[in-house]
């Protein structure tokens, strides 16, 4: 099979997943009455962005390859701790988030470039 050929099974799976995706996303538009989420679901959705960001960032900070890193010899962990500490110290101000990114990079770059951590 060349790169231009696609077998029927693969094509069927792609079409099937596309149909399922369209149905799942369009399900809320099909209903005649508006959907109302319960209060517990609305409260849970408030934490979805934080949970997704944590799921993406935490493995990169805590793992090197397939094992946990040595915590005090890792520039990523120290930079993340410095950025988090600055954010919680200055939260509520307009510049807390971009400044915490700058603080994290200001800690990470010297440790990584100069010390090789």
The 10s digit of each residue's pLDDT in 6-48 is: 788 999 999 999 999 998 888 777 777 777 889 999 999 898 8
Q: Look up residue 76 and give its two tokens.
A: 């990523």
Q: Residue 64 in contact with residue 74, Cβ under 8 Å?
A: yes
Rg of the chain on CA atoms, in Å: 23
67-95 confidence digits (pLDDT tens): 776 667 788 889 999 999 999 999 888 88
Residue 3 has pLDDT above 60, yes or no: no
Nearest to 47 by CA among 55, 58, 57, 38: 55
Q: What is the mean pLDDT of residues 89-105?
A: 89
**pTM > 0.85: yes or no:** no
């Amino acid at each position: 099979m060349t790169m231009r050929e696609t077998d029927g099974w693969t094509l069927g799976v792609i079409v099937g997943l596309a149909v399922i995706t369209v149905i799942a996303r369009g399900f809320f538009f099909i209903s005649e009455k508006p959907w109302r989420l319960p209060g517990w679901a609305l409260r849970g959705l408030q934490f979805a962005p934080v949970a997704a960001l944590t799921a993406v960032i935490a493995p990169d900070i805590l793992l090197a390859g397939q094992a946990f890193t040595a915590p005090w010899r890792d520039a990523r962990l120290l930079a993340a701790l410095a950025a988090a500490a600055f954010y919680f110290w200055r939260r509520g101000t307009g510049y807390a988030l971009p400044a915490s990114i700058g603080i994290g990079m200001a800690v990470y770059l010297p440790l990584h470039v100069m010390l090789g951590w």
